[in-house]
Amino acid sequence: MNMVQSGKSNYIAGEWVDANDFSENRNPSNLGDLVGLYARASIEQTQQAIEAAKAALPEWTGASPQLRAEILERVGIELMARRDELGELLSREEGKILSEGVGEVTRAAQLFKFYAQEALRVEGLAIASIRPGVRVEVRHEPVGVVGIITPWNFPIAIPAWKIAPALAYGNTVVFKPADLTPGCGWALAEILSRSGLPAGAFNLVMGRGSVVGDLIVRSAGVNAVTFTGSEATGRSIRTIVAERGGKIQQEMGGKSPLVVLDDANLENAIDCAIGGSVVSTGQRCTSNTRIIATPAIHDALAEGMAARARQLVVGNALDPTTQIGPVVDQKQLDTNLRYLDVADDEGAQRLCGGEILEREHPGFYLSPAVYADCTNDMVHVREEIFGPVVSVLKAGSYEEALAVANDSPLGLSSGICTTSLKYAEDFKSRSTSGMVFVNLPTAGVDYHVPFGGRKASSYGPREQGRAARDFFTNSKTAYTNPL
């Protein structure tokens, strides 16, 4: 018997505040399973959260780094201790398989622990002036109130990689999780509410992007907005924040290429091509959805990918034998089916999958699809689908494969499978994406190094690792003439 989580309140100014409107959160593996009812914040409550975050700034920006470190460490310890329970909640609401759910909560814990230590390392620079006797310092100061808007596909790791550095560097937070997956956001807020933070330093406002998110974006009281989500939403909010003089950072969609050269290890290439695409139901921004193979390996790769995809067990995310969970909701399933029709119509060859599956309980089950005979001008190859669909393209040479890989408006991640050091090094230099992988899937990143893309995939400073400081602080240059 699954527990119904009680998320009927938002967390504002250190209090749990009831709402009049709720979203119903259902398990995509079993639509009869109600994960919980979650409060949708009103405009007034969102405004109160922003004001509370502003009021808490003096106390939190003035708090000692030791206190910040201890609070963040406490959150990390609790997340780690509860990773099985919270991982199950994550899998229930989002549909990723249990091992991935537990892995994601573990990652969230690691992020809090990492930024606990970073709170102690807010370094500056002291440098000699060009004027004799004058001293120059570069300091890094909190930005102020940070609005955090996150997507549904990593409902605890992405909030963690934004909330932890925001707090570590002395900012206060107004956090809006995705309407589709509020459960993990609520659980994280509940932990933060007991962590020792001053009232108002962290606020949770769940609800619709068009209501809660829109106010965060437009409010002059929010000094900086960090957003992860679709390219369309990202584009629409960017100018609003910029025009009112706010700071903005965005991570958005991807259509990442994986080049496979004739000299690649075939088994490894199949692992990367399938493991980085349809696994996780294809619901990762960094998925390698465009596989670009040179002629001698192309056919074996495409056939091997289809054979591997056919073997993958699609089922209930909580069943330990499942390898691919359901699609997150009906809307995303409809999008996937529409793109499958487009791919069929534009002449791609469907080698396997793309079928709705029936399982013990009603859910959004779709078998992973592998397409061959694709070209880079096809709509399903150019646009992000965000489902378990992967396209194989043929390129005559390494140079042609590189050109096809770079021919995309998006540039989040890219990869190459090769045993040639020469091509691996060349690809790392000439790829136009923000992250590059050699003999690895393009999805699957570390948390202590910069994360982010180029072109339309990203905007503003990098996330994660020490790079997060660039967004979550403002630099100040101080000149002193010691008389």
Active site residues: 251, 285
| Residue 179 is a binding residue for ligand NAD (CB under 6 A) | yes
Distance of CA 114 to the CA centre of its chain: 18
Among 41, 49, 237, 291, binds ligand NAD (CB under 6 A): 237
Touching ligand NAD, residues 186-225 (CB under 6 A): 209-210, 213-214, 217
Nearer to ligand NAD among residue 252 and residue 404 (C-beta): 252
Q: Which of 301, 63, 68 is nearest to 164 (CA)?
A: 68
Touching ligand NAD, residues 428-457 (CB under 6 A): 457
Distance of CA 366 to the CA centre of its chain: 22
Alpha helices in 264-366 (DSSP H): 266-275, 295-311, 330-345
Nearer to ligand NAD among residue 68 and residue 176 (C-beta): 176
Longest dimension (CA), the chain: 80
Which residue's structure tokens are 């993990």? 184
- State the Cα–Cα distance between residues 17 and 249, nearest whole angstrom: 29
Q: Build a one-symbol-per-residue string for 63-102: x at contacts with ligand NAD by CB under 6 A, - elsewhere.
A: ----------------------------------------
Among 49, 97, 108, 149, binds ligand NAD (CB under 6 A): 149
Nearer to ligand NAD among residue 195 and residue 391 (C-beta): 391
| Residue 185 is a binding residue for ligand NAD (CB under 6 A) | no
Structure tokens at 294: 């040179």
| Residue 154 is a binding residue for ligand NAD (CB under 6 A) | yes
Among 145, 178, 292, 372, binds ligand NAD (CB under 6 A): 178
Stretch of 120-128, 188-196, 233-241, 263-271 lying at the interface with ligand NAD (CB under 6 A): 233-241
Residue 351 DSSP SS3: strand
CA-CA-CA-CA dihedral for 443, 210, 6, 322, to nearest 10: -30
Q: Build a one-symbol-per-residue string for 405-424: x at contacts with ligand NAD by CB under 6 A, - elsewhere.
A: -------x------------
| Residue 285 is a binding residue for ligand NAD (CB under 6 A) | yes
Q: Which of 19, 28, 12, 11 is nearest to 283 (CA)?
A: 28
Stretch of 24-32, 133-141, 144-152, 352-360 lying at the interface with ligand NAD (CB under 6 A): 144-152
Task: Please report how close the Cβ of residue 410 comes to ligand NAD at its closest, in angstroms.
Answer: 9
| Residue 228 is a binding residue for ligand NAD (CB under 6 A) | yes
Task: Please report how close the Cβ of residue 394 comes to ligand NAD at its closest, in angstroms.
Answer: 26
Task: Please report how close the Cβ of residue 136 comes to ligand NAD at its closest, in angstroms.
Answer: 36
Residues linked to residue 365 through DSSP beta bridges, in sequence order = 357
Residue 483: how many other CB atoms lie within 10 Å: 4
Stretch of 126-134, 247-255, 440-448, 466-474 lying at the interface with ligand NAD (CB under 6 A): 247-255
Q: Vertex 285, ends 280 and 288: CA angle to 5°? A: 75
| Residue 459 is a binding residue for ligand NAD (CB under 6 A) | no
Structure tokens at 426: 């060349």
Instruction: Give the DSSP per-residue string, 126-173.
Output: EEE-SSTT-EEEEEEEE-SEEEEE--SSSTTHHHHHHHHHHHHTT-EE
- For 2, list phi and psi in degrees, rounded to 5: -80, 145
Task: Please report how close the Cβ of residue 21 comes to ligand NAD at its closest, in angstroms.
Answer: 14
| Residue 46 is a binding residue for ligand NAD (CB under 6 A) | no
Task: Please report how close the Cβ of residue 224 comes to ligand NAD at its closest, in angstroms.
Answer: 14
- State the Cα–Cα distance between residues 142 and 57, nearest whole angstrom: 9
Task: Please report how close the Cβ of residue 479 comes to ligand NAD at its closest, in angstroms.
Answer: 38
Nearer to ligand NAD among residue 40 and residue 68 (C-beta): 40
Structure tokens at 184: 């993990």
Stretch of 78-86, 89-97, 226-234, 425-433 lying at the interface with ligand NAD (CB under 6 A): 226-234
Provide the phi-psi class of 392: left if phi over 0, else alpha when psi is between -120 and 50, else beta: beta
Among 10, 29, 45, 150, binds ligand NAD (CB under 6 A): 150
| Residue 363 is a binding residue for ligand NAD (CB under 6 A) | no
| Residue 165 is a binding residue for ligand NAD (CB under 6 A) | no
All residues at 6 or more sequence positions from 455 whose CB lies less than 8 Å from its CB, including other chains: 408, 409, 410, 411, 432, 433
Task: Please report how close the Cβ of residue 253 comes to ligand NAD at its closest, in angstroms.
Answer: 4
Instruction: Give the DSSP per-residue string, 215-281.
Output: HHHH-TT--EEEEES-HHHHHHHHHHHHHTT-EEEEE----EEEEE-TTS-HHHHHHHHHHTTTGGG
Interface residues toward ligand NAD, by CB under 6 A? 149-154, 176, 178-179, 209-210, 213-214, 217, 228-230, 233, 236-237, 251-254, 285, 384, 386, 412, 457
